[in-house]
Chain A
Amino acid sequence: MMNNWRQSLLWLAVAITGAAAAGGIALNRGESINALWFIVAAVCTYLIGYRFYSAWIAAKVLMVDATRATPAERLQDGRDYMPTNRWVVFGHHFAAIAGPGPLIGPTLAAQFGYLPGTLWILIGSVLAGCVQDMVILFCSIRRNGRSLGQMARDELGPIGGFAALLATFLIMIILIAVLGLVVVNAMKHSPWATSTVAATIPIAIFIGLYMRYLRPGHVLEASLLGVVLLLGSVAAGGWIDQQAALREWFNHPGVPLAFAVIGYGLLAAILPVWLLLAPRDYLSTYMKLGTVVLLALAIIILQPDVKMPALTKFIDGTGPIFAGSLFPFVFITIACGAISGFHSLISSGTTPKLLENERDIRMIGYGGMALESFVAVMALLAACVLDPGVYFAINSPAGIVGADPATAVATITSWGFPVTVEQMNSLASAMGEATLFARTGGAPSLAVGMASIFASAFGEHLLAMWYHFAIMFEAVFILTTLDAGTRVGRFMLQDMLGNFIPKLGQTSWYPSVVLTSCIVVAGWGYFLYIGVIDPNGGVNILWPLFGISNQLLAAIALTVATSIIIKSGRWRYVWVTAAPLLWLLILTSTAVYQKLTSADPRVGFFAAANDLQAKLDAGLLSSEKAAVAPQLIFNQQLDAYLAMLFVVLLYLVVADMLRLTYRHWRGLAVLPSTEAPYQASQLVK
């Protein structure tokens, strides 16, 4: 009894502290606010969500059963299916879901001010993102670890299943293109960054050979060696940057770098996994975990002040980084930090085959996403501790603020965010870069933010090192996603083509491997190329398209989850997944509607195409711009049809679910639930 009292008091204290911190953040006006408040508000929100909401969902909605044997136990084969310590599963699951999205999305969304982003990251994760990950993990565990696509086919029918598969494939293409663009923009005319990123490839290959031939399977020592080499490559990059002859080797504009990334992607997809993909994956996982922990420590030690206002005037849709009003674009832009459809692929991939006990679903599914969302909060903080003027100077494309530094600072200062050319120049030279103007894509600005936090906490004189360390860290794991994604895209394509030409479906038949790899790489390579030549910075087009497609995949996952809850007969709890689903439907539909119909050429795809056509016809474009204009016009139209296709696929899946709901409600026959029958666990004592 006494213990209960203490527990209640403790949770009450957590709730009050969280509410006070969140209230302080939300109501603060005019004065600068300490970053620690964000950390406190976030941690309390996750704790409350985890302790109460996730426990309630596990008990009432999913009826998690700790005595039931999981697939890991029933189907144990010592490899795919293997009961594993829950902390180990948590580590694997988190490493798999944590990608570059939650770092970049919040950085871009900071153009609206710190408040909208923070609120959505916290509310969205606790009520939607964590719920999605947890429920899909549960559904997959009850179905022998089936994938989202298989579950969609089994539970909804062939239409739902096909739509889910096609949507996933298209999202993969857009995702890789936008990530490629981020890396290209970080390397553009930066010999230090380019040489460091280039060095990661031979380092990964060396580690691959080491793990295969020199000391097979000794992952830890190989990874440690790799991390040391990567850190060495950051220092070596600084040295190369100083050598007048050598630096020209790595000093390139966007287009050749884009082709280098495309060539790299093709190579990574065709080469055996052990040579490049596997070792790179190990290295990026350690870099990622290490850097995230370091960033959290640095913020707690340093407690920097947030300089960005709570709201900026760009909530009206005129933002320089990407165009579009607060609703729906703050949600579309944050994407992965609050709810990410991609996680549903992991939650229905390797993770469900490892869980020892259904009890752990809460910790892995809900807890894993809460931690991911915490990473998003830190990325947002790293953007908001910069001087807003500096933040906008780094992230605004030359097409908006002007290519010449004097014009750019004048434009940005006129928005009410004072910044000077001297300030930008001294910042660039401190970071070891020639310029930081118009370094769009989010990676450089995140790196500047992280470098200033790290440098103040751990040593000011190393600013340029920290900056390039941050760039290397982002590039390493963006490239990991890029090559892993290309490979997954290839498997999906082979799977789809295999339905028509069985031979193409064989993942080990080399001609098919090369053909499908080329198709996938050509797909994202095209969008990457267009993004690089776009004078407004491709981020304005590609990131919203990526956000829309990611949220759409989340909606498909929630549709599958909702149908499964309906089939379980627990109608009164349907809102747990149906409410976030409805929200995502409104969100993605509004975003696509605006992207199609808006008259603002920076928002509407057709408006942009028409605007450019009119300028081209009137001869208003410089010869350089006129040369690429037809490609850009075609691309805007293509993006419009792609966005339409996304929405059509989503509504197909949702219609399939509504049909199922109606039939179930009227007592008509529906596809039976494919839940595996109960079997008592032998592992529970």
Chain B
Amino acid sequence: MAFLKQFWALVRQLSGDDAYERYVRHHACCHPGEAPMDRKTFVKQEQERKWHGVKRCC
């Protein structure tokens, strides 16, 4: 069961499914006091950023 949980966490991280949760965690630890972005704004920014550079090969 623990293994399945770990595997699922890996899949979520691989696909970026938990990106917002990770961002909130990072925000809580490294920028306390500031309000984090809401989910929608975060996803928007994240997509712009992720597809800006070379992301795919031949």
Binding site for B on A (CB under 8 A): 76, 78-80, 82, 84-85, 87-88, 91-92, 96-101, 147, 175, 179, 211-212, 216-220, 223, 273-274, 277-278, 281-282, 335-336, 340, 342-343, 345-346, 349-350, 480-481, 484-485, 487-488, 491, 507, 546, 550
Contacts and interface: CB of A to CB of B under 8 A. Distances in A.
A92 B14 contact: yes
Given A223-B15, A349-B54, A484-B56, A78 B47 contact: no
Interface residues of B, number: 33
Interface of B is mostly: helix
B58 A212 contact: no
A249 B10 CA distance: 44
B55 A217 contact: no
Contact of B30 (A78, A217, A488): A78
Interface in B1-58: 10-17, 19-20, 22-23, 26-27, 30, 39-40, 42-44, 46-58
A98 B27 CA distance: 33
Contact of B43 (A175, A211, A342, A484): A211
A99 B39 contact: no
A487 B23 contact: no
Contact of B52 (A92, A217, A343, A491): A491
Contact of B53 (A85, A98, A350, A550): A350
Contacts of B26: 78, 82
21 contacts: A76-B30, A78-B26, A79-B46, A87-B14, A96-B55, A98-B57, A99-B58, A101-B58, A175-B58, A212-B47, A217-B39, A218-B17, A219-B15, A219-B17, A281-B55, A343-B57, A346-B55, A349-B54, A350-B53, A484-B51, A484-B55
B14 A91 contact: yes
Contacts of A80: 49
A342 B58 contact: yes
Contacts of B54: 345-346, 349, 484, 488
A485 B57 CA distance: 8
A362 B46 CA distance: 28
A231 B42 CA distance: 31
Task: Report which residue of B13, B14, B16, B53 has the largest number of chain A beta carbons within 10 angstroms of its beta carbon.
Answer: B14
Given A78-B27, A220-B12, A345 B43 contact: no
B36 to A, nearest CB: 10
Q: A-B pairs with the 6 shortest C-beta distances? A: A78-B26, A101-B58, A484-B56, A273-B51, A217-B43, A216-B43
Nearest to B16: A219
A480 B30 contact: no
